[in-house]
Amino acid sequence: MYLPPEDPSSPVPSASSISMTPKPRMVIQRCENGFKMRKLNDDVEEDNDSSKMESNIRHVEAENKLPVVSEPEAAAALVPHATKPETTEEEAQKVCAREQLYKLCGVRHWKAPLYTFFNQDGPDNTKLFKVEVSVEIKEVSGITVLECLGDPHNKKKIAAEQAAEVALWFLKNMRRSAASSKKKSDSITSSTTDLFRSASSKATTKEMDRIDHLFNQYANTSSNLIDPEGIEELCSNLEVPHTDIRILMLAWKMKSEKQGYFTQEEWRRGLKALRADTLNKLKKALPELEKEVRRQTNFADFYAYAFRYCLTEEKQKSIDIETICQLLEIVMGSTFRPQVDYFVEYLKIQNDYKVINMDQWMGFYRFCNEISFPEMTEYNPELAWPLVLDNFVEWIREKQA
């Protein structure tokens, strides 16, 4: 067996001059009942008189480059011939197995197959040729040399054709085996994924059952809602007053739509997000919920939600001054204490406004975040501030003067 030289133009060394560490080998030999395979790294006795057969592939003589062929085209070549070519005419009509093997090696980016022939005496002192084709198979684990032997024949070309057929037969079955292994592996992976999903689904179901059980402890059985009485009982068990900002934050997390009421869907949404399926877990989740809400990215949304949550009537768009003052104390009191104190005082003594709308409410949030207090040097009444804030700033400046 000879490995092809790296440079196609370099001469092929003789059998006696080659000395190198052998690569893993598989030897496939054609026999009467099919093919037989030798073990990996079996020693192969080679005839000392063996010599390298010149390539009989026509397009290789013209250009020593692997052709660009599609994988499907090459895959179609992986079917060995059932009968031996006996005549030149039959040989010409058949698709050349050597050319198919050459194209397949090109598609898979392997080296070109290498043919070696051995002399053998036949009946009546006829001279026969036995051909071995070597293919270097590149895999992730390394390179394996496939050596395939054809039947002896009095024509070199036909003997080489038979050796190529044996190589094609093996490569076809090797590919089927690899596909079967991949299919089996995918099946195992799929089964594992299904098992994980099943376990995850069961755990989720149990968690939701516990959340529902907790809901039923506080829900009104006739309306299937947690009403104001249920919320008061919940606050008592959580050991927080019902006016605590964390109860409003819990409503925000649930995306509760109606003040003083929690539906089962809202309850599920909020407690699942908090991963709290017991009263004790819910109690422990409240401090983390407060940290989440007070992040700058969330607080503006929470501040706007607090206003909408207090719109208790259909088509209501504004909130009375008394409620707004209480809401400001709850939502903004701990963060912007001086601004809230002054604004609440102003709202209680002024006579121009009976209610506050969403635009005015959000304007005060912007005022607290953008205007230094009590200097208010950045405040410009020419900008798009709500009129109630213009009046508020003017009132403060008069008071300061």
pLDDT digits (tens, 9 = 90+) for 306-353: 999 999 998 999 999 999 999 999 999 999 999 999 999 999 999 999
Give the rounded percent of residues in the chain with a pLDDT score beyond 90.
Answer: 46
In a domain, residue 270? The reply is: yes
Asked if 110 and 155 sit in the same domain, the reply is yes
State whether 156 and 220 are in the same domain. no
Assess whether 140 and 221 both reside in one domain.
no
- Where does the pLDDT of residue 304 fall: very low under 50, low under 70, confident under 90, or very high at 90 and above? very high
- Average pLDDT, stretch 105-110? 87
Q: Edge to edge, what strands does the sheet with 127-139 contain?
A: 34-37, 25-31, 142-149, 127-139, 114-121, 51-52
Last residue of a domain, one of 175, 200, 231: 175
Q: Are residues 333 and 358 in the same domain?
A: yes
Residue owning tokens 């309306």 = 223
Start-to-end CA span in the chain (Å): 106
Q: What's the CATH code of the domain at 277? A: 1.10.238.10
CATH number at residue 312: 1.10.238.200
Residue type, 17: S
Dump pLDDT digits (tens) for 161-202: 888 888 888 887 776 666 666 666 666 666 656 655 665 666
Q: Give the tokens for residue 37.
A: 């395979």
* Residue 123, preceding peptide bond in cis (omega within 30° of 0): no
In a domain, 182, yes or no: no
Average pLDDT over residues 139-161: 83
Displacement of CA 362 from its chain's centroid (Å): 41
In a domain, 335, yes or no: yes
Q: Are strands 114-121 and 51-52 parallel, antiparallel or unpaired?
A: antiparallel
| Average pLDDT over all residues of the chain | 78
Residue 36 lies in a domain: no
**Amino acid in position 83:** T
Query: Do 288 and 233 share a structural domain?
Result: yes
- pLDDT tens per residue across span 276-303: 999 999 999 999 999 999 998 999 999 9
- Same domain, yes or no: 167 and 240: no
pLDDT bucket at 241, cuts 50 / 70 / 90? very high
Instruction: Tell me which residue has tokens 């399926």.
Output: 277
The answer to the question of residue 169 being in a domain is yes
Residue 120, classed as helix, strand or coil, is: strand
State the pLDDT at residue 12.
Answer: 40
Asked if residue 122 is part of any domain, the answer here is yes
* Confidence bin at 357 (pLDDT 50/70/90): very high
Q: Kindly state whether residues 170 and 121 are assigned to the same domain.
A: yes
Among 98-102, 239-243, 291-295, the range scoring the smallest mean pLDDT is 98-102
Strands 142-149 and 318-320: unpaired
pTM for this structure? 0.53
User: Strand 25-31 relative to strand 142-149: parallel, antiparallel, unpaired?
Assistant: parallel
> Does pLDDT of 157 surpass 60?
yes
Strand pairing category for 51-52 and 355-357: unpaired
Instruction: Give yes or no: residues 275 and 233 share one domain.
Output: yes
Last-in-domain residue among 237, 261, 294: 294
Do 290 and 316 have their domain in common?
no
Could you tell me if 142 and 168 lie in one domain? yes
Beta bridge partners of 146: 26, 135
- CATH number for 116: 3.30.160.20
User: Does any domain span residue 53?
Assistant: no
Domains held by the chain: number: 3
CB atoms within 10 A of CB 295: 9
For residue 157, what are the domain limits?
Answer: 97-175
Residue 271: inside a domain, yes or no?
A: yes
pLDDT of 386 above 60: yes
Whether residues 371 and 317 fall in one domain: yes
225 and 246 fall within a common domain? yes
User: Domain ends where: 265, 294, 323?
Assistant: 294
Could you say which DSSP state residue 93 is in?
A: H
Alpha helices in 56-155 (DSSP H): 58-62, 71-75, 88-93, 97-107
